[in-house]
Amino acid sequence: MNSKAIAVMVSGRGTNLKVILESVAAGHCPVDVQLVISDKADAAALEIARQAGVPHVVYLNPKDYQDRAQFDAACADLIDQHSCQWIVLAGYMRILSSFFVRHFPKRIINIHPSLLPSFAGAKAVEDAVTYGVKLSGCTVHLVDEVLDGGSILAQSVVPVLDDDTRDSLHARIQKEEHKLYPATLKRMVEQGFSIEGRRIIWAS
């Protein structure tokens, strides 16, 4: 299996997918994007992947499957078929089944718009503004069966300003996401890591 081959799972605009592909094209991120899977037929990310020349770009309709586990099994089959070592979630809006997470242990990567473990879940940015924190940011983490609960690979911090709204803070966080995600993937395939308890230990 190619240790640099990745599958990217997407649902929407594909902003993180776009920066990953641009970083790859520029020679800054040495991953091999073999497969892009979307659960949304109209996801802009699909066209981004096609224009970038990703070898396999696939839309799977969840309604064609009996339940979440069967849909995830179909996704897993595609990932295995194309020998992808890593599964990168980039704006993928479905909660993964236990089957899928167990099938790819310590191989699924996600980015979340908060400094985990604070503000897990879908309203992370809004929750940070409401709570009144002075710092927020983004977290790249492994995916396990706990929502936004996997071991932390990398984090980046942004200030929360007094006049911030959810949208203004999210825009600032996304700028950091677009730097942190490709950089973390590069480190992951070039340097590697081990896990001690919950702690990610990067190889020296």
Do residues 172 and 129 both lie within one domain? Answer: yes
Do residues 10 and 90 both lie within one domain? Answer: yes
Of 56, 82, 103, 112, the catalytic one is 112
pLDDT at 4 over 80: yes
Output the pLDDT for position 2.
62
Of 51, 71, 104, which residue sits at a domain end? 104
- The CATH number of residue 155's host domain is 3.40.50.170
Do residues 90 and 115 both lie within one domain? Answer: no
pLDDT, the chain, mean: 96
Do residues 24 and 39 both lie within one domain? Answer: yes
What's the rounded mean pLDDT across residues 164-191?
97
Of 104, 124, 139, which residue sits at a domain end? 104
Q: pLDDT of 129-140, one tens digit each?
A: 999 999 999 999
Q: CA 139 to CA 155: how far, in whole Å?
A: 4
Output the pLDDT for position 49.
97
Q: pLDDT of 49-78, one tens digit each?
A: 999 999 999 999 999 999 999 999 999 999
Beta-strand (E) ranges in the chain?
2-10, 32-38, 56-59, 84-90, 108-112, 135-142, 152-159, 193-196, 199-202
Do residues 178 and 139 both lie within one domain? Answer: yes
Do residues 14 and 85 both lie within one domain? Answer: yes
Name the pTM for this structure: 0.95
Of 104, 138, 155, which residue sits at a domain end? 104
Do residues 129 and 99 both lie within one domain? Answer: no
Residue 180 structure tokens:
């942190």
Do residues 84 and 29 both lie within one domain? Answer: yes
Q: CA 40 to CA 157: how far, in whole Å?
A: 31
Number of Cβ atoms within 10 Å of the Cβ of 172: 18
Do residues 115 and 22 both lie within one domain? Answer: no
Active site residue 28: no
Domain that holds residue 44: 1-104
How many domains in the chain? 2
Residue 97 structure tokens:
């089944």
Do residues 78 and 133 both lie within one domain? Answer: no
Do residues 37 and 119 both lie within one domain? Answer: no
Do residues 49 and 98 both lie within one domain? Answer: yes
